[in-house]
Amino acid sequence: MVALSGGVGAAIAPRAVAAPSTTVHTSPTKFGRIFPRLPAFSRATDAVRSALSDLGKPGGLLDAEDQLSKGPVDLITDLSLSVNNPNNPTHTAGTTFFGQFVDHDITFDTTSPLGVRTDPGATANERTPSLDLDSMYGGGPVTSPRFYNRKDGAKLRIGSGGQFEDLPRGDGDDAIIPDPRNDENLVIAGLHCAFILFHNNAVDWARSHGFTGDSAFPKARQLTTWHYQWLVLHELLPQIAGQRMVDDIIGNGRRFYQPRMGEGYIPVEFQAGAYRSGHSMVRPSYRANLAGDNGDPFFGMVFDPDGDGQRDPVDLRGGSRAPRRFVGWQTFFDFGDGEAKPNKRIDTKISTPLFNLPLDAIASHDRPQSLPQRNLLRQLTWSLPSGQAVAKAVGAAPLAADDLAELKPYGFQSSTPLWYYVLKEAQQVADGLHLGPVGGRIVAEVLIGLLETDSNSYLARKPKWTPTLGSAGTLFRMKDFLIFAGVDPRSRGQ
C-alpha cells in the first residue's frame, strides 16, 4: 500500500459517488445494505486508498501508542495510559470479547478484497445471519459430527476434558470448531469453550428433566441459544448502543432495518462500519488469569511479535495449548469480588498491538496487518456512505467539520468514513460510554431485527420467556451463564 509523502501529504477532497449496488431485496446468504441509495463517502481512487492507509498506519492518528514495557505488567491499571485508554465504568473487560463472539456468530466474509469496490449483494456470508450459535454447533451432530463427543453425540467436544479452556484440537493444534476465528485469541477461545460447557451441562439438565434419547440435544441447544440471545438483548446491547436506544427500538419498532420474517441479513453498514467500533474497546494487554501453572498470574499483550513461533506464546494469541492458557473470568466479568477490570471507552484511539496483527489472526492471511487500515479500506470495498449522510438519514444531528478537524489533511472532515465517524460520534456525544445515534441505531436495529425475524428465537416464539438455568429470571447476566458452565472463580476454587 502506497503511503502519502511525508506521512500526510496534500488534502484530498473526496467526491461522493453512487454506491455500486442499490440492492433492496436482500438474502440471508449474502450481505446487503440498510441505506442502499446513499452515495459512497468517496471515490475508490489510489489517492483515497493511500490517504486511508496513512490514517490507519502504525504510529498514525489512530494509534493509541500504548504498548509499553513487556513482561508481567498489568497495563490495564497503568495510570500512564489514562489519556489514550480511558476506563469505561459501565463495561467490564469482557464486553469486548462477548461482542467479538457475537460478531463471529452472524457474519463471516471470506471473499471480498480490501479497498476494491464489491457488490455486497453478490458476496456470500459464511455464517447464518441469526443469533443461533452456528459458529459453535455447525450443522449439528449428524451433519458435523467432528465437533461432537464421539461417546455422547448430544454433547460437544472439549479439549483437556474441560479442565481449562482448551478448544478441541488436532495434531497441529488447529482448533476443531466451525469458525476458526474463535481461536484468534485466548479470551475468545475461552469464551467459546464456556459456551461448549454450558451446552454440555444443559444436556445433563435436559436428561434429568425427561428429555431422553434424541430429544436431549435439541432441548439443550434451544436452552443454550435462548440464554445467549437474552444476554445479547439485555446485557450486551445496552452496553454498546445505550439502554435508551434499545428501549426505543423495542417500544417503537425498527425504522431502517426492515427484513421480513426469515429474511434477516447482515448489512455492510453494520459489518464494516458500526459494529467494528468494538476494536476501539480493546486494551493492549489483559490479565488472563490469577494463577497459571506456576502459581503466578498470566498477563499478556493481546498480540506481541515476540510470540511468533512459540509453542506457549508470551502474548494472548490463540492456536496454542498449555495449562496456563485458561481464562480467569473474574478479570472480565463482575462476580462481586472486586477483581473485574473496566473496559476501554469508545474513541478514535486504537491500541497499538492491533496495528501489527499476526497473519494467523487474519482470516484471509493477507496484508496489511494493521487492523485500522483494514477497517478503513473496507469502507471502499463496500462503497459505504459517510457518517454525515447516515446521520441525516436517521434524523440525527451530524458532527460538524470542526469536530473532525484532525481529518482535514485527508479531506475527510466533511465526508467521513463511516467507521471513523461512529468512533468519533461515540466520543463526542456519549463520552465514549456507548455508541451515539448513528452507530447505536445501526447496531441495535440489526441485532434486535435478527432476533425478531428469526422464527426460532425466544423473542419471536416466546417473547415473555426469561432464563431458566442457573440464576434464573430477568437478572440473568453473563456471570450467571459462566456459573452454569462451571468456569466461574468459585467452581475453579479461585
pLDDT, residue 182, reads: 96
Q: Is 5-492 assigned to CATH 1.10.640?
A: yes
Residues 114 and 494 sit within 8 Å (Cβ to Cβ): no
Residue 69: predicted pLDDT: 47
pLDDT at 116: 94
**What pLDDT does residue 359 have?**
73
DSSP string, 272-339: IIIGGGGGGG--SEEEEES--TTSS-EEEESS-GGGTT-SS-SS-BSS---TT----GGGTS--SSS-
The pLDDT value given to residue 1: 31
Instruction: Please state the pTM of the whole predicted model.
Output: 0.93
Give, in order, the Cα–Cα distances in Å from 4 to each of 7, 64, 169, 313, 409: 5, 21, 44, 35, 11
Q: What is the pLDDT of residue 10?
A: 44
Quote the CA–CA distance of 249 and 206 in Å, as a whole number. Answer: 34
In contact, 184 and 174? CB cutoff 8 Å: no
Three-state DSSP state, 2: coil
Assign 3-state DSSP to the chain and report helix, strand, coil percentages, each to 5. 45, 5, 50
What the block records as the C-alpha cell of 123 is 458476496
How much is the pLDDT for 11?
Answer: 54
Quick one: pLDDT at residue 101? 98
**Which neighbouring-strand residues pair with 31?**
266
pLDDT tens for the chain, 494 residues long, are 323 323 344 455 566 665 554 444 568 999 999 999 999 999 999 999 999 999 999 999 999 998 654 444 444 444 344 567 899 999 999 999 999 999 999 999 999 999 999 999 999 999 999 999 999 999 999 999 999 999 999 999 999 876 666 899 998 889 999 999 999 999 999 999 999 999 999 999 999 999 999 999 999 999 999 999 999 999 999 999 999 999 999 999 999 999 999 999 999 999 999 999 999 999 999 999 987 656 788 999 999 999 998 999 999 999 988 888 889 999 999 999 999 999 999 999 999 999 998 877 666 667 798 999 999 999 999 999 999 999 999 999 999 999 999 999 999 999 999 999 999 999 999 999 999 999 999 999 999 999 999 999 999 999 999 999 987 788 999 999 999 999 999 888 77
| Alpha-carbon dihedral 237, 443, 386, 88, rounded to 10 degrees | 20
| Helix ranges, 56-185 (H) | 94-106, 134-137
- Sign of the torsion formed by the C-alpha atoms of 457, 334, 181 and 60: positive
What pLDDT, on a 0 to 100 scale, did the predictor assign at position 471?
79
